[in-house]
Structures are given as C-alpha cells and as structure tokens.
C-alpha cells in the first residue's frame, strides 16, 4: 500500500527545505506545522516530521513521540483562536485510505456543528487568510508553550510587542506572495518547481466534486481522479 517516492520528489520535504512555499505555524528541529493549502475548513493545519516518512507505518518513534504532545498543544491553540465546536484529527495511510501526499502528516481541522464533514478541501485557501491563520495559531501556540512551562513569562507578563514579534516571525517564515493564488497558478508553480502529478503535491478538485468522506471515487495522487 505504500507509494515509494524519494524525498527529492516529495512536496512536504520541499516545504521543509524551503524549496516550496507554505504558511508555517511552527518550525522546530524535528517537526513542522503549516496550513493546509486546500483547507477542508478554515484553520486546517498539518503536522509533519521533518524527516521523510511515508506514513504511520514507517514514521520514526521519536517523530511520533514529538508529534503527539505538539498536536495537543496545537489543538488547544486552535480552540483558542477559532473557538470551534470540535477538532478533527486524522491521518491517512495508503491510497485506499485516501492518502494523497506520501509524507506522514497529521491533519487538525476545526469543526463546526452543522458544517458538512470534509476530509479534504475543494479549493485552494485564500493566501491572506492562510497567512493570518498561521500567524494567529503561531501566537496561541507560543502562549500555550509558556503556560505549560511556568518559568517562561505568559504573553500578558511579557513585553507588549512580544505577540507582534511572534506574528511577524510567522509571517516572515511563510513565502506568502509565492503561495499560490489560484489553481491555475498552483499548477504553473508546481510545474516550475518540478513537482509532477503523483509526486507528492496535489491539484485542486472542481467545486462540484466533494473530496469528502471516502470513498466514493477518492483516489491517490498517483492516479489523479479528475482534471481541473
């Protein structure tokens, strides 16, 4: 069930290496958190290990051990920023399960009562919205870290501009203008970045087609299900 791609072909490895753009929420030695480019709901984020692993089956124990507590802190930050009714956390393994990018990633998706449940988004997120969500989550995550460690000052105790610095850091980490503005731009940029269909990134689906709730018809990147 695994799809063998090399780290050189992997879009998430390219994001780690800053060869591809992303709206980064947090960057540490072992993990990276960034906004999903095609959010299933406003605030949809991905947590990945920096080390390339296809999915849960080959992800290193130490990476999983780091991702667990980080995802909980991120969920708390998400609750603070978006006040959702719930938070979906999921991770897909293999094409049959709906995995489309062959680098381990954990999805965290704010959920609201009454909204249809989608595992994947249908359209690329608005770049300004993705940037602002990344900055707000980064700041809340930083605060959550301080609350977990009482020796560090919380934001209310800190210098008044500390929050702004966190936001500025998050914004400077993204390559905002380079983040893709339209599906067409996305395709052009992917091609200019040498990312082939099936090599790890994915293209948007038409608005009429739901990427929700697998199956029916949900297929892996290696067999693109539709042409935009």
- Is the distance from CB of 111 to CB of 165 less than 8 angstroms? no
* 103 is a site residue for Zn ion (CB under 5 A): yes
- Give dist(CA 93, CA 16) in Å, integer: 21
Residues 220 and 126: beta-carbon distance below 8 Å? no
Could you say which of ligand 5GP, Zn ion, none residue 52 binds, taking C-beta under 5 to 8 angstroms by partner kind? Zn ion
Q: Is 141 helix (H, G, I), strand (E, B) or coil?
A: helix
Closest CB 91 distance from Zn ion, rounded Å: 15
Q: How far is the CB of 199 from Zn ion (least distance, A)?
A: 10
If one asks whether residue 10 binds Zn ion (CB under 5 A), the answer comes out as yes
H helices of the chain, where?
11-16, 61-82, 127-148, 162-173, 183-192
**Of the two residues 91 and 154, which places its CB atom closer to ligand 5GP in the complex?**
91
Q: Which of 23, 26, 50, 52 binds Zn ion (CB under 5 A)?
A: 52
Residues 190, 182: Cα–Cα separation, whole Å: 12
Q: Does 190 bind Zn ion (CB under 5 A)?
A: no
Distance CA(9)–CA(7), nearest Å, equals: 5
How far is 39 from 82, CA to CA, in rounded Å? 14
Given 23, 44, 103, 105, the catalytic residue: 105
Number of residues in contact with Zn ion under rule CB under 5 A = 6
Write down the least CB distance from residue 92 to ligand 5GP, Å. Answer: 4
Q: Is 105 known to be catalytic?
A: yes
Chain-centre distance for alpha carbon 76? 16
Q: Which residues bind ligand 5GP (CB under 6 A)?
A: 11, 22, 34-38, 92, 98-101, 120-121, 201-202
Q: Which residue's beta carbon is nearest to the bound Zn ion? A: 10
Nearest distance, CB of residue 167 and ligand 5GP, angstroms: 19
13 binds Zn ion (CB under 5 A): yes
Contact status, residue 213 vs residue 117, Cβ threshold 8 Å? yes
Catalytic positions are 105
Under the rule (CB under 5 A), what is the footprint of Zn ion?
7, 10, 12-13, 52, 103
């Amino acid at each position: 069930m695994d799809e063998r791609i090399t780290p050189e072909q992997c879009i998430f490895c390219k994001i780690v290496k800053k060869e591809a753009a992303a709206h980064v929420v947090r960057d540490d030695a072992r993990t990276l958190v960034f906004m999903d480019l095609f959010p299933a709901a406003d605030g949809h984020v991905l947590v990945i290990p920096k080390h390339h692993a296809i999915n849960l089956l080959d992800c290193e124990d130490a990476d999983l051990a780091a991702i667990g507590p980080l995802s909980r802190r991120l969920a708390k930050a998400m609750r603070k920023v978006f006040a959702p009714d719930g938070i979906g956390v999921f991770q897909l393994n293999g094409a049959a399960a709906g995995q489309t990018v062959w680098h381990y990633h954990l999805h965290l998706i704010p959920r609201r009562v009454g909204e249809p449940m989608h595992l994947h988004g249908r359209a690329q997120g608005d770049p300004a919205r993705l940037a602002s969500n990344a900055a707000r989550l980064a700041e809340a995550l930083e605060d959550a870290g301080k609350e977990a460690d009482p020796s560090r000052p919380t934001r209310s105790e800190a210098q008044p501009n500390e929050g702004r610095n966190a936001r500025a850091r998050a914004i400077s980490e993204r390559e905002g203008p380079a983040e893709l503005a339209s599906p067409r731009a996305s395709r052009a940029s992917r091609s200019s970045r040498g990312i082939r269909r099936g090599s790890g990134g994915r293209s948007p689906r038409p608005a009429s087609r739901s990427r929700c709730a697998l199956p029916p018809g949900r297929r892996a990147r290696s067999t693109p299900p539709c042409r935009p």
